[in-house]
Amino acid sequence: MSARECLITATIDLVRRHGVAATGLAELIERSGRSRRTIYLNFPEGKAELVAAAVSAAGAAGAQMIRSFAEKPTIGAAFAAFADTWTQVLTDSGFTAGCPIVAATLGRSDAPEAADAAGEAFRDWETILATRLQEDGVAPEAAQSLATTIIAATEGAVIMSLAAQSTAPLERTSQQIATLIEHQLRAGAPAV
């Protein structure tokens, strides 16, 4: 892994655990094993540039994950895989790691470029889901609305699960999203 990749990976982990404001260079140096000089050689604008790059990388990784899930036989199976991944992230981290995209959004006052990258990531994720929903027969406008609902509800459920130290909010939300997906698929099905 290059120095740049190492710094980005460490930043993603710190931002998802502590937020943008609480992610300091000293902790980043310790976590990445890289020097302050290495940070500024790779990110001349410092922390703000590094956090923006990390959020872009996390957004791209999330998009790739959603694309791979979208290849499942049904959109319901795709969403179940997405929810299962979040359940694993929450439990594996002991309920200390959330979504770096959400953290960057909330950190707009400290890193506006990172928040902009977060907005782009959310749009990309919505587009991937909306495309898959349309492929399964959901009308374009309904597919876009449902994709937004899926992302927003899942991200909110992750935050609630972190607060509750339990996957119960994510599990309940996932059940409701599955019902919404099924309803939209039935609504888009041709009459026989």
* Two structure tokens written together for 177: 């999203």
- Residue 118 and residue 55 in contact, taking contact as beta carbons nearer than 8 Å: yes
114-160 residue pLDDT tens: 999 999 999 999 999 999 999 999 999 999 999 999 999 999 999 99
pTM for the model: 0.92
Rounded mean pLDDT, 75-104: 95
Q: From the CA atom positions of the chain, what is the Rg in Å?
A: 18
147-175 residue pLDDT tens: 999 999 999 999 999 999 999 999 999 99
**Contacts of residue 48, Cβ cutoff 8 Å, sequence gap at least 6:** 110, 111, 112, 113, 114
* Two structure tokens written together for 72: 């499942």
Give the class (CATH, top level) of 54-188.
mainly alpha
**Vertex 97, ends 16 and 145: CA angle to 5°?**
75
